[in-house]
Amino acid sequence: MLDVNFIEINQKEIEKKLSSRGPDFSKDINFVVEKNKRRKEILVQLEQLKAKKNQFSKEIGLLMRDKKEQEVEKTKQSIAEFDDLIVELDEELKEVVKQMNYTLGMIPNLPDDSVPIGASEDDNPEVRKSKHTNLLNTQEPHWEIASKLQLVDFELGPKLSGSRFLVYTGLGSKLVRAIADILLTRHVNHGYKEFFLPVIVNAEMMYGTGNLPRFEEDAYKTGDQYLIPTAEVPLTNIHANEILDEKVLPLNYTSFTQCFRQEAGSAGRDTKGMIRLHQFNKVELVKIVKPEESMNELEKLVKDAEAILDMFDLPYRVIHLCTGDMGFSSLKTYDLEVWFPSQNKYREISSCSNCGDFQARNMMTRYKDENNKTQYVHTLNGSGLAIDRLIAAILENYWDGEKLKLPKVLLPYFNNQEFIK
C-alpha cells in the first residue's frame, strides 16, 4: 500500500497521478487522509491521558503516606475514569486504523514517471519485436489442434470441475512436465533459487502482495485461506516481517505451481481453449532488491522472460503498459505477447512488473542499508512463463495441418522425435 503520511503531504499530486489510471480515487484518498488525522489526534489524546494517569498514580502514594484517605479515593476514581477513556479511545483507534488500512488497500500504486499515459491496452506502445525463423503459421485454433493430437481433453475438465478447466492427457501431460523443467532449469542456471511451494496461503500473504482486499472476488477461498492466483504470492512473502542484510540483495526466486483464478468479469472472453483458465500452470519469477536497483532489475526480468520465447523460437513482442492498463500493485510493467496465427494477433504470455515498495510496506519486508538505516525493499515479479499459453502458441505456430513439429529445445524430452502426429 501507499504510505498514508506521504499521501497526506502530497495529496493533490497523488490524486493527479492516480487519475491517469482511470477510476477516480479522490474520495478514497480524502477518506484515508481524514482517518489518518483522526488517528494522530487519538494518539495525542491517549498520550495525554496516560501521562495524567501516571501523575495521579504517583500522587496516590503521597496521599496514602499522609493518610489522606478521602483524597486517595477521589484520585482512584479519577484514575478509573482515565482507564475508561483509554479503553474507549483504544477501541476507536483500532476501528479508525482498520477502516483506513482497508481503504488504503483499495488504492493502487502510483505509476512511475516513465509510464506512458493511456486509458487501455490500445494505448500501450510497442518496445520491440523478436526475430524468429519462419514458422508454419496455419490458421487452425490451438484447441482444435490439441484435440486432434489427443493432448488435451476439453470435455473431461468441465465434467470433473466445471467450465474453464481442462485435462492434459498422454503426451500433453508430458509436454507440461517437459516445459516446466526447461523453464526452471534455465532460470536456475541464471541465478534464480527454485522453490516448490504450497498452493494454499493465509489471508495475510494475499494482503501482502495486494491481492486483498481489492481482488477478493477473483480468488478461490478455502476456509480462511486462499488458493494462490500465482506463485508471486508465496514467493514475495518469503521474507515478510523480516529485516534483511543488505549483502543478500538482490534475491532472485522462481517456482513452478498450479495457479487458481475465478476470472471474475471475464464472462464470454476466451471461453474456448487454453488462454483463460480457472486452474493453470505457470513458472513465476520474483526479485527482492534495493530501491536504487529496481528499474535495472526490471529490465533483467524482462530479458529472462524473453529468453524462454527465444528458446522456443516463437514470434513475440514487448510492450510497455500505459497507466490505464497496469496491474494494481505495479508502478511500471512490460508485457510479453506471443503471436497467435488463428487470431491474427499477439496475446499476453508474461507480465513483468516493478512494484517498488508498495508490497514491501504491506509485508514489512525491509533491509539495513550501508548507513544502518532501515528501508523497505522493492519487489518485482513476472511470468517466466505461463505454460498453458506457451503450449497453445507452440500448437498454432508449429502445426502443418497433419502433425506438430516440436521446437528443438523439446526434442530431448521426446526421444528426439521431431513430430507429434
262 is in an annotated binding site: yes
163 is in an annotated binding site: no
Q: Please count the residues of the chain.
A: 421
Question: In the block, which residue shows the cell 476439453?
Answer: 154
Cell for 340? 497467435
Question: In the block, which residue shows the cell 486483498?
Answer: 212
Cβ neighbours of residue 113 closer than 8 Å, sequence gap 6 or more: none
394 is in an annotated binding site: no
Q: Which of 223, 213, 234 is nearest to 101 (CA)?
A: 213
381 is in an annotated binding site: yes
350 is in an annotated binding site: yes
In order of 56, 67, 83, 228, 356, the CA distances from 73 in angstroms are 11, 11, 15, 59, 57
263 is in an annotated binding site: yes
Cell for 376? 523497505
Cβ neighbours of residue 391 closer than 8 Å, sequence gap 6 or more: 142, 146, 151, 172, 175, 176, 179, 274
Count CB atoms within 10 A of the CB of residue 354: 27
CA trace torsion 163, 164, 170, 171 (10° rounding): 160
Q: Three-state secondary structure along 358-393?
A: HHHHHHCCEEECCCCCEEECEEEEEEEEEHHHHHHH
271 is in an annotated binding site: no
User: What residues form DSSP beta bridges with 333?
Assistant: 353
User: What residues form DSSP beta bridges with 94?
Assistant: none
Name the binding residues for L-serine. 230-232, 261, 284, 381, 383
Name the binding residues for ATP. 261-263, 348-351
Name the binding residues. 230-232, 261-263, 284, 348-351, 381, 383
